[in-house]
């Protein structure tokens, strides 16, 4: 699971945060035995850590959709409660550092308002959690300092994270998504576009004779052809589609479809595939194939099916070109009959 996947962040931050709270509260009253409040909080944290550790990949991805907007509220609330349970001021101060984890999680995986909400809750949460431990004035000063430090850190982290994510998920030559970008953005695309009488189809595109084009016109011209092809296909694809370059001249597009069932979706894609075949620039045609991506199915299986359809399309047109009669201007002229001797 890649680090840039929010599901990875849910598992790591959830496991680590719960374990740290349980550990600190376990040491808070040492060497005495923890009281009932400590035991209840520690048990809840250990159960949460176990759940995060055992989450399947798909379940953690679905949980990430909920965790991103909810993590600032739930995380700050849990940490504040743990700080109130702690007896030692040092334990409460150590627990307050977890607010930085929530801000980091939101800056890495969420939107701007997630990070803003996390910072807005940090000040009151730290102040309430430390009020009885260090006094109201010291708690307020510490809370303001924490918000100031986290604001600068979150801003820098968000900018750097966005640049790293863009570089790792975007094809540098064409500007389309990379193979990694397709894998990371595909689950979100499916969640947004699947619904009643709606589905998602996978389209595989491949430029015909691209190697020959490179040999004849140079690799620089081939690169320019790829860039122009992506621009043309982006214009031909429906708005909101996801286009990714997965190989040299191989591309995969995710397209939202309308209609019940795979057959209806395939019928609706016929015109689009024809447009995509003709859209390749500089007289080059493209081969195209499509396949439905059903709910619960793996993206790799749908891509494999669409890839097979693309190669069938390429084979049919190759055989058609080999058996087609020569054009009229290329036909061998008929020799005129010799005149009969007089």
- Residues 85-132: tens digit of each pLDDT: 999 999 999 999 999 988 888 888 877 888 888 889 899 999 999 998
Same domain? For 165 and 184 the reply is no
Q: What is the pLDDT of residue 132?
A: 87
pLDDT tens per residue, range 300-318: 999 999 999 999 998 887 7
d(CA 6, CA 105): 9
Q: What is the pLDDT of residue 165?
A: 79
d(CA 274, CA 240): 19
Same domain? For 158 and 234 the reply is no
| Structural domain boundaries enclosing 217 | 179-322
d(CA 214, CA 151): 50
Domain membership of residue 337 (yes or no) is no
Same domain? For 194 and 159 the reply is no
pLDDT tens per residue, range 52-93: 888 777 666 677 777 777 777 888 888 999 999 999 999 999
Please answer whether residues 199 and 191 qualify as being in contact, where contact means their C-beta atoms are separated by less than 8 angstroms: no
Please answer whether residues 301 and 307 qualify as being in contact, where contact means their C-beta atoms are separated by less than 8 angstroms: no
d(CA 63, CA 13): 13
Q: What is the pLDDT of residue 108?
A: 82
Please answer whether residues 142 and 39 qualify as being in contact, where contact means their C-beta atoms are separated by less than 8 angstroms: no
Domain membership of residue 338 (yes or no) is no
Could you give the number of structural domains in the chain? 2
Q: Are strands 286-292 and 198-207 parallel, antiparallel or unpaired?
A: antiparallel
Q: How many CB atoms lie within 10 A of CB 338?
A: 6
Domain membership of residue 330 (yes or no) is no
Domain membership of residue 117 (yes or no) is yes
Q: What is the DSSP letter of 240?
A: T
Same domain? For 147 and 285 the reply is no
Same domain? For 127 and 208 the reply is no
Domain membership of residue 294 (yes or no) is yes
């Amino acid at each position: 699971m890649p680090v840039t996947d929010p599901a990875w962040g849910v598992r790591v931050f959830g496991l680590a945060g719960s374990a740290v709270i349980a550990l600190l509260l376990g040491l808070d009253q040492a060497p005495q035995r923890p009281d009932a409040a400590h035991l209840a909080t520690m048990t809840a944290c250990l159960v949460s850590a176990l759940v995060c550790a055992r989450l399947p990949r798909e379940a953690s991805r679905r949980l990430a959709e909920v965790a991103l907007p909810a993590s600032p509220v739930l995380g700050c609330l849990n940490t504040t409660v743990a700080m109130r349970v702690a007896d030692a001021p040092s334990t409460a101060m150590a627990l307050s550092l977890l607010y930085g984890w929530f801000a980091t999680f939101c800056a890495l995986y969420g939107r701007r308002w997630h990070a803003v909400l996390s910072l807005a809750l940090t000040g009151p949460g730290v102040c309430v959690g430390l009020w009885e431990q260090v006094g109201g004035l010291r708690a307020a000063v510490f809370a303001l300092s924490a918000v100031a430090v986290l604001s600068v850190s979150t801003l820098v982290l968000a900018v750097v994270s966005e640049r790293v994510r863009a570089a790792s998920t975007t094809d540098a030559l064409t500007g389309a998504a990379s193979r990694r970008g397709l894998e990371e953005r595909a689950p979100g695309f499916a969640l947004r576009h699947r619904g009643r009488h709606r589905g998602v189809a996978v389209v595989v595109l491949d430029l015909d004779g691209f190697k020959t084009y490179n040999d004849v016109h140079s690799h620089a011209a081939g690169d320019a052809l790829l860039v122009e092809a992506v621009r043309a296909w982006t214009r031909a694809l429906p708005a909101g589609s996801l286009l990714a370059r997965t190989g040299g001249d191989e591309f995969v597009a995710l397209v939202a479809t309308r209609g019940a069932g795979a057959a209806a979706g395939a019928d609706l894609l016929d015109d689009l595939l024809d447009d995509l075949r003709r859209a390749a620039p500089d007289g080059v045609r493209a081969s195209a194939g499509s396949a439905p991506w059903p709910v619960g199915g793996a993206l790799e299986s749908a891509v494999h099916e669409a890839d097979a359809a693309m190669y069938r399309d390429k084979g049919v047109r190759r055989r058609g070109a080999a058996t087609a009669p020569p054009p009229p201007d290329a036909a061998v002229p008929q020799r005129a009959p010799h005149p009969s001797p007089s």
